[in-house]
Amino acid sequence: MQAVILAAGQGKRLQPLTNDIPKAMVKIKGKPMLQIIIEQLKSVNVSEVVVIVHYMKEKIIDHFGDGSQFGVKIHYVEQKEMKGTGDALLHAEPYITEEKFLCIACDSLFDTKLLKNILAHETHGVITAKEVEDAKRFGILETEGNKVTRIVEKPKNPPTNLANFSVYLFPKAIFDKLKQIEPSSRGEYEVTDAIQLLIDDKYDFGYEVADSIVDIGTIEQLQEAESLFSNGNL
């Protein structure tokens, strides 16, 4: 099994922690976020990981090396310009040889059983979701039965309260769609636009609801993640 980890970001909202290290190296209870994810991937038999790097990439490469001490093979690819998650993922294409692969943002912290649940799906792809109170603030999944029919960014009238979180199982076909998408209103290539193109082409996407998942973009979210980690929920 292969996986891609998006770890190019600086993490400006985590300053001053990220003044001297990239976001991926911010620690949760003494361990870099990226290391936690790699260890989780190893536990579900992922043997090869592509890490997309940019900001202070040397800090990541020096810590993880070729991945052998963590039981995986690591490839590093630099996203030279920060042009969005879709652009970042496209950089991994030369290394992905299997029909399906996991894709995770380095600032997502979650219970390891989430990966096992995702891999149990028999759909072409899987999107991780979390039930949220203010659905207008998120990308929201529109669903029919156990399938995703649409992803709506920050809708005025949310169809569900299922927010998209950045842990995915993708078919290799995602790369063709990433080459077709246009920049969003904020000038970035969004991976969710490529997912929607796949859904429009009748690719089945399931979803997995996760209770214990945190996107760590701020100091407050980091503290929340540390609390979950301490309570054994991750």
pLDDT digits (tens, 9 = 90+) for 115-125: 999 999 999 99
Residue labelled with tokens 């760590």: 216
User: Cis peptide before 16, with omega less than 30 degrees from 0?
Assistant: yes
Q: Say which amino acid occupies 2.
A: Q
Q: Has domain 2-230 been given CATH number 3.90.550.10?
A: yes
For 15-156, strand residue ranges (E) read 27-28, 31-32, 48-53, 73-78, 100-105, 108-110, 125-131, 139-144, 147-153
- pTM for the complete prediction? 0.94
Instruction: Note the pLDDT of residue 97.
Output: 97
Instruction: Note the pLDDT of residue 228.
Output: 76
> At 70, is the pLDDT very low, low, confident or very high (cuts 50, 70, 90)?
very high
The domain ranges of the chain are 2-230
Which tens digits make up the pLDDT trace of 36-57? 999 999 999 999 999 999 999 9
Instruction: Note the pLDDT of residue 65.
Output: 97
